């Protein structure tokens, strides 16, 4: 018999170990899933996890997909630490793409070095503005930020769709719902020959580094933890919860907006109805898997990016449906949440209790 | 059929999935559990109901499959949050992400295949009455079920001892435990009920509302259902008002799109249900200082009985 | 003919929790119709033992005899069926439910709605415990809430009533009324197991006492013939030194001034503060007595800056008008605070002692440089607290939650005192801590006042205030009474004020 026992102290070893345990369990379940779908599990796993990263191009794709996940994951993780549940990063990403892309389209014929910086400013501002709505409603009226930020995601997607089907449609685009291709000055060229990897990855890594420094070393970063763990203690310490709500939502929104811009100015190069395969939602998994820690987020983002590319490769090579990606991502988060139990509790074998008598 | 009657019938239809899902979530929340996975459970319900109906040709089996699929996901949620004390918000999000993935994996082969719409339960004579006939009779079984469940839930929570115990668990888990009530078991049951209801809501979408399977066809209805519980202040009868209000907004914007009533793109009209949700949440928050009393006091709080 | 069997007898009850032996071979016998005290310090194992009796916890070893028969009590339902009723220290009530529903949840028998209401009225009137079955619990006072708990038990004609620290939330008058009820029950043949650490009460009420220390029975005695001091020493296991009675220090300059402070509650269940006026002088300890829930939490928040006052002049530190300032700004001006709740208010249980040291000291000590935390300075500060205040901990990098209540409280008190406050406000500074820590904390507060700090103690423990303060006042329903010299105060008068019987006279002019 096993008995569940609370640990006197949360286990730091388990805190680091459970993400790996969760990945392992996901891979094992993945193999079972492949077998269930009638595929050879080893071949499928190979196609999913190894093939994509065995070429330079594949590695580039990995970095490309990790970029938005890192950016958004960093912002969300800061919020989650403070118990601010922004789950509308997908909408903030879309707004970033719309605002940044709007600038690119407006200055379509201008080839000047200030175009791109202006796009960045617009994208970040757009993401922030979208996140400011739940922040305002939460700090003023205690409206649940989960529902508001999520509803705004649907609104943002519809807004983008209205634009590319309507006023921003490419006049020479044979009536396809997409904008013009951006001008040279508005695009992010590859930084590594033979790949599509652009400078966004460097920005993402720099952001992660800065976030690490902020959270580990400054009073403002410390505030996040206290607000999240014990709101009354935060008030006692003079840390303002409202300020934290605003800070984390604006940060999350701004970074999501930037991620959106990097997608449209990088690999896509124009505005289309769907600018993201759900990075804003997947980044929630990234944030948790990365233990809400900036360095963890970078590692988790790389792993989850692999599941995106793996899904594509597996579709081409093993004929697996691409939806496998979503299942993998969901399982990963489930296993992580389940194994996190081991941080605060341990299982102890116990002998049957002596002196127990039935009647 | 008179256009006003036809519109009202379609409002009822649009409201039904919201009502089913919100009713299930209300019971779970009354027991103290916040399950944000409604959207995921609905999707899995929708695809299972559709697939089983298509394969067996039996809508009854399809509906049962949808309910079981919803319950299965809810079981997973219960194991994690009630058994392993995982964070309810995070687990609910995981459930939705997982549900989206699984449903599109399972449904990949069914996209675009039509299925026969759930049969209407016509009552000879009554269904033919003018106005009242189509309004009150001639709906399918899930529509009646959705309303009946509201009445049943109101009766259960307000009038039965079991309902009182369920509310006690949501109000003060430690006290309920100290008085000898099985808090975890009660919560588990409530979560499973929520799963069944979300599954049924999904089945209604894929078997009656738009009788086919489309990826992510719930389009945020699971989240709107969550908002409806807040709107209803955790009182079952008020769900009815909220669900029909939202059904109305949905149908209104569809009609406006169809008729080209406003000189705005159709997408802008499609935004209305989502914007209405935000508006409603805001108005409720602004309008009531007593809101803290309405929400179950232990909502979302993990509970583990001492050994 | 032999004597009737004991109503309840425990033999060799042992209960272990991870790292703790809560009960160690405990024997206890309660006779029919006896009022039996279970005495012990916080953490002595009293609550664990009664939870075993009530079936909430299962013992690891030992046996339970009920009226001479061996039983296993697997659940509270079973305990109630045997005839055991329990009034918990932390009420097991449901705020949003009605009195009737709350009582029904504690009964084994099912009643029709009307029948239950009739029984509630019948029993509540019979025992002089008036209650309206249709009221929601959140609208009731603490005393009324306790009546629900007692009625719940009385409705099932209990043969043993367990009361866990029932008087800690009552006014002296309410305590008298409760004792009358208990004596009547005992006369009717119901046994009562009365858990307390208030020795005068036990002397007044109980015929026999079992004393626990560290999970073991250390004595069984007759409290009517023992002295409070002898029982206290048995409880603590050491001789007790009374804190020195402070001398008068009334002539010095005022340091904390509160002037007609009124504040609406934030929380719908909260208490509004009305025209609170008092002052605390340098070197003085001022006490605020009162039953919980009469505005103490709101007052503390308004003084600490967690909730700003409506006007700046309502709260002053010396000459500075601080009413609109936040906690950090007030701390810089020398106001430090020890809130009542350690876990989640004064400290964050999930964070380390170092992080908790930073929590309230970042504004007053030089712990930051350009927004960056000076980690070495913080660690040094944490170590200084641990050393100076004798906090028993394996180190400063363990979580605050892993410390015992007394040790964490010493840490919190030390953290505020080592910031050299001009004004220190402490709410319930020794609530739920062991006697050793309580003595240390009282000594630290006295020493601080000796060095010239103005100290305000808000406490429900009248004995604590009488031992510690120079002057005191009573808070009731958000209003503060005039203040009294502690030396010449009449306890009865304070009791009346706590119960709100006497309308508080306008507060003295400063």
| Helices A294-317, A56-81: inter-axial angle, 10-degree rounding | 140
A318-324 contact pairs (CB < 8 A, 24+): A318/A39, A318/A43, A318/A44, A318/A47, A318/A48, A319/A39, A320/A34, A320/A37, A320/A39, A320/A44, A320/A47, A320/A48, A321/B104, A321/B105, A321/B108, A323/B101, A323/B102, A323/B104, A323/B105, A323/B108, A324/A33, A324/A48, A324/B101, A324/B105
pLDDT for position A192: 86
With contacts defined as CB-CB under 8 Å, which chain C residues touch A355? Answer: 61-63
In chain A, the residue whose alpha carbon lies closest to the alpha carbon of B288 is A141
pTM equals: 0.87
Q: Do C105 and B165 touch (CB under 8 A)?
A: yes
Cβ contacts from B onto C, under 8 A: 63
Confidence of residue C503 (pLDDT cuts 50, 70, 90): low
Q: How far apart are the first and last CA of chain A?
A: 22
Instruction: Give yes or no for residue A10 having a pLDDT over 90.
Output: no
Provide the H-helix boundaries in A237-323: 241-263, 279-289, 294-317
* Residue among C217, C220, C208 nearest C45 (CA): C217
- Summarize pLDDT for A74-125 with one digit per residue, the tens: 999 999 999 999 999 999 999 999 999 999 999 988 888 999 999 999 999 9
In chain A, the residue whose alpha carbon lies closest to the alpha carbon of C62 is A355
A223, part of any domain: yes
Q: Average pLDDT over chain A, rounded to whole?
A: 90
Q: Give the number of domains in chain B.
A: 1
Site of tokens 């697997």: C74
Q: Please, how many CA atoms are within 13 Å of residue C185, restricted to the half-sphere of its CB?
A: 32
Average pLDDT over residues A60-73: 96
Kindly state the percentage of chain A with pLDDT values over 90: 59
Under a CB-based contact definition with an 8 Å cutoff, are residues C68 and C52 in contact?
no
Which of B161, B165, B180 is facing C76, going by the closest CB pair? Answer: B180
Q: Do A162 and B268 touch (CB under 8 A)?
A: yes
pLDDT for position A357: 37
**Which segments of chain B have a pLDDT < 50?**
none
A350, part of any domain: no
With contacts defined as CB-CB under 8 Å, which chain C residues touch B177? Answer: 56
- For C48, counting Cβ atoms within 10 Å of its Cβ (0-12 exposed, 13-18 middle, 19+ buried), the class is buried
The alpha carbon of residue B100 is apart from the nearest alpha carbon of chain A, in Å, by 7
The alpha carbon of residue B130 is apart from the nearest alpha carbon of chain A, in Å, by 39
How far, in Å, are A93, A150, B47 from residue A281 at the CA level? 11, 10, 21
Instruction: Give yes or no for residue C249 having a pLDDT over 60.
Output: no
| DSSP code of residue B20 | H
B126, part of any domain: no
pLDDT for position A80: 95
B150, part of any domain: yes
Range name among A245-249, C68-72, C425-429, C501-505 with the lowest pLDDT average: C501-505
> Exposure string (b/e) for A225-238, b if CB count within 10 Å is 16 or more?
bbbbbbbbbbbbbb
Mean pLDDT comparison of A6-20, B146-160, B263-277, C91-105, highest-scoring range: B146-160
What is the domain extent for residue B177?
2-118+140-292
Under a CB-based contact definition with an 8 Å cutoff, are residues C121 and C128 in contact?
no
Interatomic CA distance for residues B83 and B72, integer angstroms: 15
B209, part of any domain: yes
* Residue among A71, A125, A76, A73 nearest A228 (CA): A76
Interatomic CA distance for residues A140 and B292, integer angstroms: 16
A31, part of any domain: no
Q: Do B172 and C101 touch (CB under 8 A)?
A: no
B297, part of any domain: no
The alpha carbon of residue A343 is apart from the nearest alpha carbon of chain C, in Å, by 13
Under a CB-based contact definition with an 8 Å cutoff, are residues B231 and B281 in contact?
yes
pLDDT for position C488: 84
B130, part of any domain: no
Kindly state the percentage of chain C with pLDDT values over 90: 51
Instruction: Give yes or no for residue C479 having a pLDDT over 60.
Output: yes
Range name among B201-210, C343-352, C398-407 with the lowest pLDDT average: C398-407
Which tokens hold the place of B299? 């909502």
Chain B, 148 to 167: residues with Cβ < 8 Å from chain C are 161, 164-165, 167
Touching check for C402 and chain A: CB below 8 Å? yes
B107, part of any domain: yes
Touching check for B98 and chain A: CB below 8 Å? yes
- Summarize pLDDT for C122-169 with one digit per residue, the tens: 888 887 778 888 888 888 877 788 888 888 888 888 999 999 888 766
A44-47 contact pairs (CB < 8 A, 24+): A44/A314, A44/A318, A44/A320, A47/A310, A47/A313, A47/A314, A47/A317, A47/A318, A47/A320
Q: Tell me the CATH number at B13.
A: 1.10.3470
What is the domain extent for residue A276?
38-320
B124, part of any domain: no
Touching check for A216 and chain B: CB below 8 Å? no
- Global ipTM: 0.88
Kindly state the percentage of chain C with pLDDT values over 70: 94
Instruction: Give yes or no for residue C79 having a pLDDT over 90.
Output: yes
Radius of gyration of chain C (CA): 24
Q: Give the number of domains in chain A.
A: 1
Q: Average pLDDT over chain C, rounded to whole?
A: 87
B38, part of any domain: yes
Q: Do A337 and B94 touch (CB under 8 A)?
A: yes
Interatomic CA distance for residues A245 and A251, integer angstroms: 10
């Amino acid at each position: 018999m096993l008995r569940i026992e609370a640990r006197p102290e949360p286990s730091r070893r388990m805190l680091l170990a459970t993400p790996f345990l969760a990945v392992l369990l996901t891979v094992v379940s993945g193999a079972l899933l492949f077998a269930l779908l009638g595929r050879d599990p080893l071949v499928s796993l190979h196609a999913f996890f190894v093939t994509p990263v065995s070429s330079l191009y594949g590695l580039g794709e990995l970095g490309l997909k990790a970029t938005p996940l890192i950016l958004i994951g960093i912002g969300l993780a800061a919020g989650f630490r403070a118990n601010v549940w922004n789950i509308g990063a997908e909408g903030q990403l879309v707004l970033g793409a719309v605002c940044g892309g709007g600038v690119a389209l407006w200055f379509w014929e201008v080839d000047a070095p200030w175009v791109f910086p202006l796009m960045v400013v617009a994208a970040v501002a757009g993401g922030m503005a979208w996140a400011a709505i739940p922040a305002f409603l939460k700090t003023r009226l205690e409206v649940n930020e989960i529902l508001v930020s999520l509803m705004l995601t649907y609104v943002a997607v519809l807004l983008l769709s209205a634009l590319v089907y309507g006023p921003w449609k490419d006049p020479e685009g044979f009536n396809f719902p997409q904008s013009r291709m951006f001008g040279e000055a508005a695009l992010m060229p590859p930084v590594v020959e033979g790949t599509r990897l652009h400078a966004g990855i460097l920005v993402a890594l720099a952001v992660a580094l800065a976030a690490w420094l902020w959270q580990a070393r400054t009073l403002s970063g410390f505030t996040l933890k206290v607000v999240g763990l014990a709101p009354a203690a935060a008030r006692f310490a003079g840390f303002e919860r409202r300020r934290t709500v605003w800070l984390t939502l604006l940060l999350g929104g701004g970074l999501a907006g930037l991620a959106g811009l990097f997608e449209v100015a990088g690999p896509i190069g124009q505005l289309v109805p769907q600018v993201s395969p759900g990075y804003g939602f997947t980044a929630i998994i990234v944030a948790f898997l990365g233990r809400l820690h900036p360095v963890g987020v970078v590692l988790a983002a790389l792993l989850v990016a692999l599941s995106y590319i793996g899904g594509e490769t597996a579709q081409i090579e093993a004929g697996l449906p691409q939806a496998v990606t979503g299942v993998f991502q969901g399982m990963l988060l489930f296993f992580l949440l389940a194994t996190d139990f081991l941080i605060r509790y341990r299982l102890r074998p116990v002998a049957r209790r002596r002196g127990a008598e039935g009647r | 059929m008179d256009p006003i009657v036809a519109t009202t019938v379609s409002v009822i239809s649009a409201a039904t999935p919201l009502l089913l899902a919100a009713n299930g979530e209300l019971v779970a929340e009354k027991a103290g559990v916040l399950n944000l996975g409604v959207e995921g459970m609905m999707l899995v319900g929708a695809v299972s109901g559709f697939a089983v109906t298509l394969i067996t040709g039996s809508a009854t089996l399809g509906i049962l499959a949808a309910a079981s699929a919803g319950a299965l996901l809810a079981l997973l949620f219960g194991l994690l949050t009630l058994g392993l004390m995982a964070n309810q918000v995070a687990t609910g999000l995981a459930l939705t992400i997982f549900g989206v993935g699984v449903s599109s994996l399972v449904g990949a082969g069914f996209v675009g295949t039509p299925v026969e719409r759930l049969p209407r339960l016509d009552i000879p004579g009554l269904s033919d009455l003018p106005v009242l006939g189509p309004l009150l009779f001639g709906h399918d079984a899930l529509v009646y079920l959705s309303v009946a469940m509201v009445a049943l839930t109101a009766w259960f929570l307000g009038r039965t001892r079991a309902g009182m115990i369920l509310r006690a668990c949501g109000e003060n888990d430690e006290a309920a435990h100290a008085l000898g009530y099985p808090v975890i078991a009660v919560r588990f049951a409530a979560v499973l009920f929520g799963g069944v209801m979300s599954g049924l809501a999904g089945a209604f979408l894929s078997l009656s509302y738009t009788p086919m399977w489309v990826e992510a066809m719930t389009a945020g209805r699971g989240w709107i259902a969550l908002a409806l519980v807040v709107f209803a202040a955790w009182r079952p009868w008020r769900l009815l008002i909220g669900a029909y209000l939202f059904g109305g907004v949905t149908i209104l914007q569809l009609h406006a799109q169809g008729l080209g009533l406003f000189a705005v793109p159709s997408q802008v009209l499609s935004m209305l249900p989502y914007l209405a949700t935000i508006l409603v949440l805001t108005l409720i928050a602004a309008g009531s200082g007593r809101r803290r009393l309405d929400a179950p006091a232990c909502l979302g709080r993990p509970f583990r009985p001492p050994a | 003919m032999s004597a009737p069997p004991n109503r309840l007898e425990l033999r060799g009850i042992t209960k272990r929790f991870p790292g703790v032996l809560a009960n160690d071979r405990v024997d206890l016998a309660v006779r029919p119709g006896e009022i039996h005290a279970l005495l012990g310090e916080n953490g002595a194992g009293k609550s664990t033992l009664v939870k075993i009796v009530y079936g909430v916890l299962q013992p690891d070893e030992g046996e339970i005899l009920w009226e001479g028969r061996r039983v296993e009590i697997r659940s509270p339902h079973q305990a109630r069926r045997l005839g055991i009723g329990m009034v918990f220290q932390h009420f097991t009530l449901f705020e949003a439910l009605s009195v009737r529903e709350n009582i029904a949840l504690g009964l084994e028998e099912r009643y029709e709605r009307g029948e239950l209401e009739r029984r509630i009225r019948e029993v509540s009137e019979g025992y002089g415990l008036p209650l309206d079955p249709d009221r929601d619990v959140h609208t009731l006072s603490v005393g009324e809430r306790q009546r629900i708990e007692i009625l719940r038990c009385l409705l099932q004609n209990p043969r043993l009533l367990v009361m866990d620290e029932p008087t800690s939330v009552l006014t002296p008058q309410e305590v008298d009324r409760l004792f009358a009820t208990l004596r009547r029950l005992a006369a009717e043949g119901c046994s009562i197991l009365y858990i307390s650490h208030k020795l005068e009460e036990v002397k007044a009420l109980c015929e026999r006492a079992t004393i626990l220390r560290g999970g073991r029975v250390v004595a069984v005695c007759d409290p009517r013939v023992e002295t409070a001091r002898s029982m206290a020493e048995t409880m603590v296991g050491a001789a007790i030194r009374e804190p020195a009675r402070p001398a008068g220090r009334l002539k010095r300059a005022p340091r904390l001034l509160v002037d007609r402070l009124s504040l609406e509650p934030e929380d719908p269940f909260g208490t509004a503060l009305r025209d609170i006026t008092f002052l605390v002088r340098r070197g003085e300890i001022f006490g605020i007595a009162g039953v919980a829930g009469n505005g103490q939490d709101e007052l503390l928040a308004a003084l600490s800056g967690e909730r700003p006052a409506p006007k700046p002049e309502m709260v002053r530190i010396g000459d500075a008008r601080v009413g609109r300032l936040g906690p950090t700004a007030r701390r810089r001006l020398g106001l430090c605070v020890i809130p009542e709740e350690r876990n989640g208010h004064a400290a964050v249980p999930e964070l380390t002692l170092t992080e908790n040291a930073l929590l309230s000291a970042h504004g007053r000590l030089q712990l930051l440089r350009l927004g960056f935390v000076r980690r070495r300075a913080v660690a040094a500060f944490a170590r200084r607290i641990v050393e100076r205040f004798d906090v028993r901990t394996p180190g400063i990098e363990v979580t605050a939650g892993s410390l015992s209540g007394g040790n964490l409280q010493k840490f919190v008190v030390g953290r505020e005192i080592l910031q050299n406050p001009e004004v220190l406000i402490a709410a319930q500074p020794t609530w739920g801590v062991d006697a050793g820590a309580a003595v240390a904390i009282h000594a630290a507060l006295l020493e601080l006042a000796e060095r010239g700090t103005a100290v305000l103690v808000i406490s429900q423990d009248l004995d604590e205030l009488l031992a510690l303060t120079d002057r005191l006042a009573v808070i009731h329903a958000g209003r503060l009474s005039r203040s009294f010299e502690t030396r010449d105060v009449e306890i009865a008068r304070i009791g009346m004020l706590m119960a709100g019987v006497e309308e508080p006279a306008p507060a003295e002019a400063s």
